[in-house]
Amino acid sequence: MSPLLISALGVAIASRDPVLGGAMMFSMALGMGVILIACGVGAGWLLPKAGPWMKKIKQGFGVLLLAVAVYLLGFLPNVPILFLWAALFVGVAIYLGASQSLPRSTRGWRFLWKGLETGLLIWGILALVGGLTGHRDVLRPVPTLLSGPDPSVNVAAQRGLFERIIELATLEDRLIAARLAGRPVIVDYYADWCTDCLRMERQTFANADVRAALDLFVLLQLDVTNAFDPQISALKNHFGVYGPPATVFITASGDERRDLRLYGFRSADQFLQILNKLSVPTIARNS
């Protein structure tokens, strides 16, 4: 329940809607309660009888719990996450028999399971290769040479869209300069381990219409990848941001539009709608 509860609380906090937050918590509690009551009432006829199959179910849930643990560890930047995925995938594949040949009399579904076991083993090997090359995305673990650009790379920053900042003093200097020049500012909080940040890089900030609209702004990207760095804590505390992805909009006079502050992923169309709510003078493009 922990990942689901954290996600629900995150949505409730980001929306700032107490009614929505209360409804989500009530729905989760009601959903859990109904299932437990149904299992208790129908335990005599609804649930199947105990047998050897329960051992396989127990093992399957054990693997899922390990996968959830590895997924949560992926949010820590110092954890070599692909090595953990590789160990899990390879271990499960070998346990299921991926390294063993099928007997000649094999028919039907056993071929399908063999294919899944082999695929899981190959995925684990690719994750191991990706871990050795410093990658972190389990869905695209192999090096850039084999799979194209790594989505974990900060694409927008590489294209010169944002100026990367890792120190509070630099941020304050840029904000003062923008206010003196009469230009609005967009501050983007980014981290290499943040999946929604990477989605924003690949989909939203790479969009041509979004990039054209962002020409009016001074674009600063605060890299908060290393959560244990005191400078990173100072960057988050400056605007009271609890974590990425977050986007802060500052007017040409230096005041933040708190009503437009964003948490989480926004598509290109959604981001453009928010930019349209900002009254940016045309002269800002020429300054």
Per-residue pLDDT tens digits for 50-59: 777 788 888 8
| CATH homologous superfamily of 155-286 | Glutaredoxin (3.40.30.10)
Per DSSP, 158 falls in state H
Q: pLDDT: is 271 or 151 the higher one?
A: 271
Confidence at residue 286, expressed as pLDDT on a 0 to 100 scale: 39
Residue 35 identity (one-letter amino acid):
I
Confidence at residue 193, expressed as pLDDT on a 0 to 100 scale: 74
Confidence at residue 76, expressed as pLDDT on a 0 to 100 scale: 66
Confidence at residue 48, expressed as pLDDT on a 0 to 100 scale: 67
Nearest partner of 254 among 191, 192, 182, 179, judged by Cα: 179
Is a pLDDT exceeding 70 seen at residue 151? no
Contact indicator for 123, 89 with CB cutoff of 8 Å: yes
Bridge partner residues of 220 (DSSP): 163, 187
Give, for 48, the enclosing helix (H) or strand (E): none
What distance in Å separates the CA atoms of residue 8 and residue 246, rounded to the nearest whole number? Answer: 17
**17: Cα within 13 Å, side-chain hemisphere:** 10
Indicate the domain borders of the chain.
1-41, 69-152, 155-286
Confidence at residue 29, expressed as pLDDT on a 0 to 100 scale: 84
What distance in Å separates the CA atoms of residue 120 and residue 194, rounded to the nearest whole number? Answer: 25
Is a pLDDT exceeding 70 seen at residue 287? no
* Residue % of the chain over a pLDDT of 90: 14
Confidence at residue 84, expressed as pLDDT on a 0 to 100 scale: 92
* Of 54-68, 96-110, 119-133, the least confident: 96-110
Is a pLDDT exceeding 50 seen at residue 153? no
Confidence at residue 208, expressed as pLDDT on a 0 to 100 scale: 87
Confidence at residue 191, expressed as pLDDT on a 0 to 100 scale: 84
Cα-based distances in Å from 111 to 103, 107, 126: 11, 7, 23
Is a pLDDT exceeding 70 seen at residue 243? yes
